[in-house]
Amino acid sequence: MKNILCIGAGYVGGPTMAVIADQCPDHTITVVDINADRINAWNSDQLPIYEPGLLEVVTRARGRNLFFSTDIDGAIKAADIIFVSVNTPTKTFGHGAGMASDLQYWERTARQILANSDRPKIIVEKSTLPVRTAAAMERILNSGDNGLRFQVLSNPEFLAEGSAIRDLMDPDRVLIGGQETEAGRAAVNELVEIYASWVPRERILCTNVWSSELSKLAANAFLAQRISSINAISALCEQTEANVDEVARAIGLDSRIGPKFLRASVGFGGSCFKKDILNLVYLCRSYGLHEVADYWQQVVTFNDHQTQRFAANITAQMFNTVAGKKIALFGFAFKADTGDTRESPAIYVAKSLIAEKADVWINDPKALKNARSALGDAPVQLEPDPYVAADGAHALAILTEWQSYQKLDYQRIYDSMQKPAFVFDGRNLLDHQALFDIGFNVFPIGRPPLTHLT
Ligand code: NAD
Ligand code: UDX
């Protein structure tokens, strides 16, 4: 029986520990955070994040072998293995501002672990960090005058929001990086045994620490690169009457390319892709690899362009002015099945329409609260009923691929809107021909528009 602790009760720490607790009933799992509101929410049935299936898993284990607490010092003292899953945002100050990882939360945690430990522990780097962070942290942890020796492992998390529970229950792989020493290998084996409770051993991959850290950044960079690639093709499709979904299908059937992650969109969002690529770019520059840095930077630069061109097209198609026009944004989360709005393309689209003096109404099944924090006191209406959001609007912009938007009565929506009525489908989610037949002017991503305007 092990005492497992996770520091950081966010989108990664909460679901990951809930699944470990669920799958390893013999271990005791405690999750701590400095944010007391978050911990209170984890201890209630109104969890702090929306994730399909999460409440069921938490409810099964909470109070049995899963505990949420704010007593960080006490929990460190009791722990054998400590996962660190605090946030690692992009630095906003000093050297590397706007690019490098802000490591202050991580270092503070390392020092707190050191101050509260009277025996050696295994520290697991769950947060996504620049290559060589584990080694630096090991140096801090092993600098105490108590002679304690800690092992720091890298165990990056590959879950995606919206499918976190499925990803954790049935991961493509679990990656564990450790020192290639006897003590390092022993620590790796302890962690392997935990995951092996439910993950087939052939999917548990052990590497050196640096490969593990770099693999996480590389995986996100490759995934984001595919989206920027198909989005770049979408811009060309719009000029040439090619259909990006047909192109994606045609290239995706090549088994070397594969069909996943080729959905053209208003741009990728989320807390990871941009941050991790900028981190990779910064790392490359710091080693003087400027061409490598420029290569990855372009994935982010193009993504920003894709979102900007979507927003600019709304104004351009609506006779070059949206001032005073009601526009309904359907979706604000950065993807479906989450309430998370971090780096959501909807933030940019909303702000640019506000700058054009549009009357912006936002609907989202799960993200209205986060939309308010993302937009501060910007003048927007947050409306839980999509029909009310669309009532009297000149245009709808689909920004998140919630399936519920496919089931709405678009004849009813059309009838309630100003004419000519526009749909800008930033996710190619809806049936464009059906909308056109109702009377809408439809502007998809990477497909020719369907318009009644002459
Ligand atoms: P998050 O912001 O949702 O959660 C981090 C939590 O850590 C917060 O609740 C914060 O209060 C807490 N925290 C910060 N400093 C602390 C401290 N000193 N002591 C105790 N708690 C502290 O972040 P997240 O989305 O869970 O991401 C965590 C890490 O995992 C990041 O490095 C991220 O890149 C990585 N990651 C995220 C995802 C994802 O989908 N969100 C997926 C894979 C990896
Ligand atoms: C991502 C990685 O997938 C995950 O492995 C990592 O651990 C964290 O970062 P996440 O950001 O939660 O996960 O969601 P993901 O499904 O990757 O989507 C990211 C963004 O890309 C979303 O805005 C999504 O809408 C967009 N996207 C995704 C596309 O625009 N097209 C696609 O084909 C796929």
- Atom of ligand 1 lying closest to residue 88 CA: 32
Nearest to 5 by CA among 70, 102, 91: 70
- Centre of ligand 1 from the C-alpha of residue 126, in Å: 9
Please write down the long-range contacts of 36-42, taking CB distance under 8 Å and 24 or more positions apart: 36/70, 38/9, 38/10, 39/9, 39/68, 39/69, 39/70, 42/9, 42/14, 42/68
87, 114, 340, best to mutate for ligand 1 pocket (most atoms within 8 Å of CB): 87
What pLDDT score does 208 carry?
95
pLDDT at 73: 97
Report the chain's mean pLDDT, rounded to a whole number: 96
- Which of 50, 129, 268, 274 has most ligand 2 atoms within 8 Å of CB, for mutation? 268
Catalytic site residues?
Answer: 272
For residue 449, say if its preceding peptide bond is cis, omega within 30 degrees of 0.
no
Looking at 56-70, 85-99, 336-350, 423-437, which range is the least confident one?
Answer: 85-99
Q: What angle do CA 342, 347, 348 make, to 5 degrees?
A: 125
Rounded to whole angstroms, the Cα distance separating 50 from 366 reads: 7
* Domain ranges for the chain: 3-199
- pLDDT band at 200; cut points 50, 70, 90: very high
* Residue 116: Cβ-neighbour burial (10 angstroms; 0-12, 13-18, 19+): middle
Q: How many CB atoms lie within 10 A of CB 44?
A: 10
pLDDT at 135 over 90: no
Q: Which residues contact 273 (CB under 8 A, 6 or more apart)?
A: 220, 223, 224, 303, 343
The arithmetic mean of pLDDT across residues 241-257, rounded, is 97
Interval 10-50: pLDDT, tens: 999 999 999 999 999 999 999 999 999 999 999 999 999 99
Residue 368: how many other CB atoms lie within 10 Å: 17
Residue 451 CA, ligand 2 centroid: distance in Å: 31
454 pLDDT above the threshold of 90:
no
- Evaluate if residue 385 carries a pLDDT over 90: yes
Distance CA 315, CA 344 (A): 20
Res 92: pLDDT:
93
At 144 the pLDDT is: 79
CA angle 279, 284, 290 (to 5 degrees): 125
The pLDDT score that the predictor gives to residue 321 is: 98
Within 180-289, residue ranges assigned H as helices are 182-195, 209-240, 244-252, 273-286
CATH entry 3.40.50.720 includes domain 3-199: yes
Ligand 2 centre distance from Cα of residue 47 (Å): 22
Integer-rounded Cα radius of gyration of the chain: 24
The verdict on the CB of residue 16 being under 6 Å from ligand 1 is no
| Mean pLDDT for the stretch of residues 68-92 | 96
% residues pLDDT > 90 (the chain): 92
Mean pLDDT of 93-122: 92
